[in-house]
Structure 1
Amino acid sequence: GGQLLVASLPPHKGVLAKLADYFKTQVEQVGIKVELGREATPEVILKAEPDAVIIATGVTRLVPKLPGIEMAKLVDAEDVLTGRAEVGAKVVVIGGGVVGCETAEFLAVKGKKVTIVEMMDNLAAGMERAHKQYLLERLDLLGVNILTETRGEAVEEEGLLVNTETRTKEVLPADTVVLATGAVVNQELYRELSGRVSEIYLVGDCVEPRCIFEAIAEGFDAGRAI
């Protein structure tokens, strides 16, 4: 449920928080034991001697190998949405996927001057068409600067050095550079438990990063199978 809570933070996405509240209520009503603040290591799981294990370990964020990546002005999109990162007045978002676009809108609504840098020729790839069009229209109305076919090359004191579609290099002024460069599945726990538990199921983003609909369906199917 961690990604669901973060997904509810951008503008127009607050309804997802109600879904998280619904699942929390359901868990309480059926008496499921929940242990917070404890890592689910293979040792912990095997000690419980489970008949089946459902793994929903999500994703690991991709961090590009850029010079200057260690600079304090570089922050993760999730930290921006949750308020864990401070953001300056001028912001460059690296990555124009759904997360990058929604984070850009989140910041623009707060009065930040935002530029999105995307190496592909389109934004919000994979997003449902009507929602994508509405999102892009809102970004335009908010004055978000969009640079497609542009690649970030280095984080510098002045901002982000980019290589544009015309193969020219320039520095985009930025007080803060936000990383929204995607994620890869986290199946480490699955690999460590494979062959050691009689039934094991993968659900959600650890299968493949997608939407909440697929995660709910996979959880439902796993429950029925058990």
Structure 2
Amino acid sequence: MSETTTPEQLPPERNPSSSSSAEEMDVDLDSSTKPEGGSEEADKDQSGDDKATDDGKGKAKAEEEEEEKKKKKEKKKKKKKQKKEEEAKKEIPRGPLKLGYKTFDSSVHIFDYFYNFLYSWPLNLNVNKYEHQMLLELLQKGHKDAAKKIDVGIRSFQVHNHPIWMGRCFALIRDNGSVDYFRFRKCVNRILPLPEEMLPQPGVDRHLRSKKKYARQGGGGPGTGLGSGSGM
């Protein structure tokens, strides 16, 4: 009687069930590696989160830099405004200063007086004796060429539209009938310095000189009274 060998007693290499079990094991082992793929996805998600965080930080930093620029700009603007206000508060040259029949507290006070008179007095009309003395002393004390302007003597003062500049100015009529002009602003500034923003503008003088040159070439004629006084 022969012995019957059961599958369990066969060597592993000849036992079909053992092979099947190994294959199942292989499958189980292979399937056990699947979560690794999931881990890669998780890493990707994590990377995306990190990137989003970095983008958020970059945006926040950009906003912070922009805010800092705005603050610097505002600070610079404020500093400029403060400097302007300080310059405006600089002390105006003060008197008291007697001129003619009046005593003035400052150069601005003198300027305002003659400016208002210039634009309130009618054109081509002799000023009264009171204003005549005021203008004469302004000219004597303030004009660098006062003696040349006065020359043979002044008969009267008037307000004219300057024949070249076409703006109001003080005119003097000499005893010999000749006419000349002068700028009261320059006179005031020589007597008592004006604030910088009120100083005579050199561009006006340049313009007058060019017009004077044009007048000598035929643009002006006798009786205009330009001569040496066109520069005022």
**TM-score category (smaller protein):** under 0.3
Higher helix residue share: 2
Give TM-score scaled by structure 1 length.
0.20
TM-score (norm 2): 0.20
The structure richer in strand per residue is 1
Bigger-Rg structure (1/2) = 2
